[in-house]
A = this chain, B = another copy of it.
Amino acid sequence: MHDNISFVEKCLSSQEVFSGRLLHVFKDTVRLPDGSESTREYIKHPGAAVVIPYCGDRRILMIRQYRYPVGQTLLELPAGKIDGQDSPDATIKRELAEETGYRPGIIIPIGLIHTCVGYSSERLYLYWAEQLQYAPLTADDDENIVTLEVPITDAMQMVYAGQITDAKTLIGLFWAEKIINRQALLGQAKL
């Protein structure tokens, strides 16, 4: 097997071709391993965090919200983008509070997800949260979000039936099922 080095595409020049409120799009000229040049277009992303909020009794807290890019209301795990110099830990506590009103007693990192390796630099940190306490915020209610407690077996049935399609949520639910059934252990993650 080749090692990492032989595959590397070297950046020759980088240009920001769109700078928006949310998206920052770059077009780089790169040197390929065979010596030729090509271009790479991608989104430079600040990173994000997603959480499996465990309610106990084999139940997961999920949210339902409208997603404009796909034109659908989707059932998801709470998640959000990292702001400024925030840590993934701080991000997931903030997003969980803003989106559901719950504060976790414990958060445990599970792993790192590269959301979209073809065209985004996004690194998405997956967490487990438990000992949830309800302490709703009054502000930041501009997202139209509904919160639901879903038994893990019901969530998995929705996965098999094609009723849950969001990538980060699929990964989180497969992990959640293993953790709840004690087929995978928490606390060994390297983030």
Contacts and interface: CB of A to CB of B under 8 A. Distances in A.
Secondary structure dominating the interface of A? mixed
A74 B23 contact: no
A49 B39 CA distance: 23
A85 interface: no
A43 B69 contact: yes
A76 interface: yes
Interface in A51-92: 64-74, 76, 81
Nearest to A79: B118
B70 A121 contact: yes
A25 B18 contact: yes
Most buried by B among A1, A18, A48, A191: A18
Interface residues of A, number: 71
A137 B53 CA distance: 47
A167 B32 CA distance: 25
Given A115-B167, A171-B167, A160 B144 contact: no
A136 interface: no
Contact of A41 (B22, B65, B120, B124): B22
Interface of A: 1-2, 4, 6-9, 17-18, 20-23, 25, 27-28, 30, 32-33, 39-43, 48, 64-74, 76, 81, 111-124, 142, 144, 146, 148, 159-160, 162, 165-168, 170-171, 174, 184, 188-191
